[in-house]
Structure 1
Amino acid sequence: MVKTDDLILFAQVVELGSFSRVAEQNSLTNSVVSKRIARLEEDLGVQLLYRSTRKLTVSEAGKLLYQGAKNVKQAAVEAIDTVSGFGEKVTGHVKMSVPTISGDLLLADAVADFCVQNPGMTVDMSLDNKFVDLIDDGFDLVIRTGHLEDSSLIARHILDSQWVICAAPAYISRNGKPQQPEDLINHNCLQYAYQTTGAAEWQFKGDHGNYIVRISGNFSTNNAGALRKAALGGHGIAYVPRCLVYHDLMKGDLMDLFPKQVGKRLGIYAVYPFTRQPPQKIRLLIEHIRARYLAIGHYF
């Protein structure tokens, strides 16, 4: 698991352009800085910096990572500012529901960590892609991706999730690379049945707003992990949230086919029932979760 401190350190290396300057600023040795950057590269499976005796050069993967890493420190500062003054002990129980992708990616660890930090807290977390009814089902908090319409709920925006269209190099070598979105109608497109907009309707940016290309294929699933595996196996083209395949794209195991044309971008929200003043445990948990999302905002 990528450490937040290593991301902050990497951002400093890019900004200062020197291991020694970063070491001095953080009261570390050059070797410690070098080892932590090497650990980050190993965790991600990509080279972030090219080192020479004269200078450091940031790789393409490093430039991508930096865009998110530079916000990590700011996210941590914001989270601390938000909860400052909440010194008293947090106790109680929270029943929550989260999407499967975010649950697997970061929320299971983040929420369990919150409980460790607050020994009086217990959390029951369900992983479910369905739009649960907070009131009828008795949920205190839901992490939801998509459009919010229920005015009886309060939503805290966390970040936006960009979708991508991707395929394995093996599939492209056998079938050719689609040059424009309309070419997808001649390809085997793997369908994510969880999409609220329709699994066969893929959205693109156009000169006059977003438009839809209707695709078809021989495989459909409501499980994001199964869809990712089918794409990695070279069996077709997938339309998925970027965070699901971030590491695959960075390693080159999947190719982003239309990096600037995909129109689907959905907000991720922390949602809770309307109250004049939400319980402190909910506010603290939301800010803890938000900081974890923003720490890996470059995945999204």
Structure 2
Amino acid sequence: MRADDLILFSQVIELGSFSRVAEENNLTNSVVSKRIARLEEDVGAQLLYRTTRKLSLTEAGKALWHKAKNVTQATQEAKDAVSGFGESISGHLKMSVPTISGDLILADAIAEFCNLHPGLSVDMSLDNRFVDLISGGYDLVIRTGYLEDSSLIARHIIDSQWVVCASPSYIAKHGKPIKPIDLTQHNCLQYAYQTTGASEWEFKGDKGNYIVKVSGSFSTNNATALRKSALGGHGIAYVPRCLVYHDFRNGQLVDIFPDLVGKKLGIYAVYPFTRQPPNKVKLLIEHIRQRYLTISHYF
């Protein structure tokens, strides 16, 4: 079974006639007919009922069409991913990224992209607030969380799972919380950029997610400062797993509730609405996405 025959079959269903598909692909009607017949021979079943007025799907045709649509979509996505690679990418891009991702992966990934395209320059700022793309003149931002502004386009990159963690020294001195509600008896270090509130920590329950209201002596809007405070044994932190992935691996921090934390946020590439974004934006998004995927286990 050939992928191009599946794509042609999907076009026949969408356009409703062999002649329109033939015109769309610069083929003759007989070639389209022969390729559909070849596909039917490959699957060993009739796919279409053909009358002079219309085409309709057989049961086998309906089952195959569902798969054929997936092939068509995957082919288009593959084309979109590499479109523009043969063109000269130049000019300037202004973008904003969150501090954790900026430090972890994006500074290196974007500098690498600039080196791959010598005619391109990028101005990257690290900022956790959701900047105004239009008034700020941003071409692209990377953001974590749900996007509501319909004037912007968001492409999902990866999901970021949060964790509750503390150092072995803190646990040795104060004990390890057994249940999330036990956190109310501990010094909880708070990350001021939490969208749901720095003191409201989300957990999974039998009847859905719920919030534990915590308190503590230290709050900061800087993720690195929060991590260092946890490493120093000064309290329990609620942070994205990617921030402390290596600390878990080397034993400097302990994942206290590995299966109970309910907070998971999407990371998105966001750009102003346009029918066809510039190739340099599309290619940079794909470059960034691939770099995230190489360390997906961090998240």
The reply to whether TM is greater than 0.5 is yes
* Secondary structure of residue in 2 paired with 1:207: coil
Superposition misfits of 4+ residues, deviation over 4 angstroms: 78-81
Quick check: 1:79–1:287 contact (8 Å CA) kept in 2?
A: no
8 Å contact kept, 2:84–2:279? no
From the superposition, tell whether residues 193 and 278 of structure 1 become closer, same or farther in structure 2 (CA, over 3 Å): same
Separation (CA, whole Å) in 2 of partners of 1:141 and 1:81? 18
How far apart are 1:86 and its partner, in Å? Answer: 2.9
Counterpart Cα distance in 1 of 2:288 and 2:129: 20
Counterparts of 2:79 and 2:138 in 1: how far apart (Å)? 26
Percent of aligned pairs sharing the same letter? 76
Which gives a bigger RCO, structure 1 or 2 (Cα 8 Å, sep 6+)? 1
Instruction: Say yes or no: does 1:256 pair with 2:255.
Output: yes
Distance between the aligned counterparts of 1:299 and 1:79, measured in 2?
Answer: 26
Aligned to 2:189: 190
Partner of 1:140: 139
Matched, 1:157 2:148: no
Mapped contact 1:96–1:140 kept (Cα < 8 A): yes
In 1, the alpha carbon distance for the partners of 2:84 and 2:103 equals 32
* 3-state DSSP of counterpart to 1:209: coil
Aligned equivalent of 2:30: none
Q: Secondary structure at the match of 1:89?
A: coil
Bigger radius of gyration among the two: 2
Q: Is the 8 A contact 1:162 1:264 kept in 2?
A: yes
CA contact under 8 A between 1:155 and 1:272: conserved in structure 2?
A: yes
One-letter amino acid of the structure 2 residue matched with residue 144 of structure 1: R
CA spacing shift, 1:140–1:84, aligned 2, 3 Å: closer
| Deviation of the 1:80 alpha carbon | 9.0
Q: Give the Cα separation in 2 of the matches to 1:132 and 1:225.
A: 21
CA shift for structure 1 position 266: 0.1
Tell me how far apart the structure 2 counterparts of residues 152 and 168 of structure 1 sit (CA, whole Å). 43
Distance 2:255 2:214 in 1: 17
Taking structure 1 as the reference length, the TM-score comes to 0.73
What CA deviation, in whole Å up to 9, does each residue of 1:7-29 have, x standing for no partner? xxxxxxxxxxxxxxxxxxxxxxx
Q: Report the RMSD for the aligned CA atoms in angstroms.
A: 1.3
- The residue type equivalent to 1:230 in the other structure is S
Aligned to 1:290: 289
Over 3 Å counting, the alpha-carbon distance change for 1:80 and 1:119 in structure 2 is: farther
Contact 1:95 1:123 in 2 (8 A): yes
Equivalent positions of 1:82-121 (< 5 A) are 82-83=81-82, 86-121=85-120
Give the paired residue count. 223
| Distance across 1 between alignment mates of 2:84 and 2:281 | 15
Per-residue CA deviation, residues 114-146 of structure 1 (Å, 9 max, x unaligned), is 000000100000000011000111100000001
Write the letter of the residue equivalent to 2:245: Y
Q: How does 1:166-185 map to 2 (within 5 A)?
A: 166-185=165-184
Any conservation in 1 of the 2:145–2:265 contact (CA below 8 Å)? yes
Gaps of 5+ in 1: 1-77
Tell me the residue number matched to 2:225: 226
Matched residue SS, 2:204: strand
Gaps of 5+ in 2: 1-76
CA distance in 1, matches of 2:251, 2:179: 21
Change (3 A) 1:243 1:80: farther
- Normalising by structure 2, we get a TM-score of 0.73
> For 2:172 and 2:80, how far apart are their aligned partners in 1?
51
Q: What pairs with 1:209-248 in structure 2 (closer than 5 Å)?
A: 209-248=208-247
Following the alignment from structure 2 to structure 1, what is the Cα–Cα distance between the partners of residues 226 and 82? 38
Q: Does the 8 A contact of 1:79 with 1:288 survive in 2?
A: no
Distance, in Å, in 1 between the alignment partners of 2:251 and 2:131 is 36
The residue type paired with residue 162 of structure 2 is W
Name the SS of the counterpart of 2:285 in structure 1.
helix
Q: Residue 79 of structure 1: CA displacement? A: 7.8
Q: For the residues of structure 1 that align with 2:123 and 2:167, how far apart are their CA atoms? A: 37
After superposition, the C-alpha distances for 1:195-248 in whole angstroms (9 at most, x for unaligned) are 111000000001111100000000000000000000000000000000000000
Relative to 1, partners in 2 of residues 1:79 and 1:235: Cα closer, same or farther, differing over 3 Å? Answer: farther
SS of residue matched to 1:206: coil
CA distance in structure 2 between the aligned counterparts of 1:182 and 1:128, rounded to whole angstroms = 32
**Contact 2:160/2:241 (8 A) holds in 1:** yes
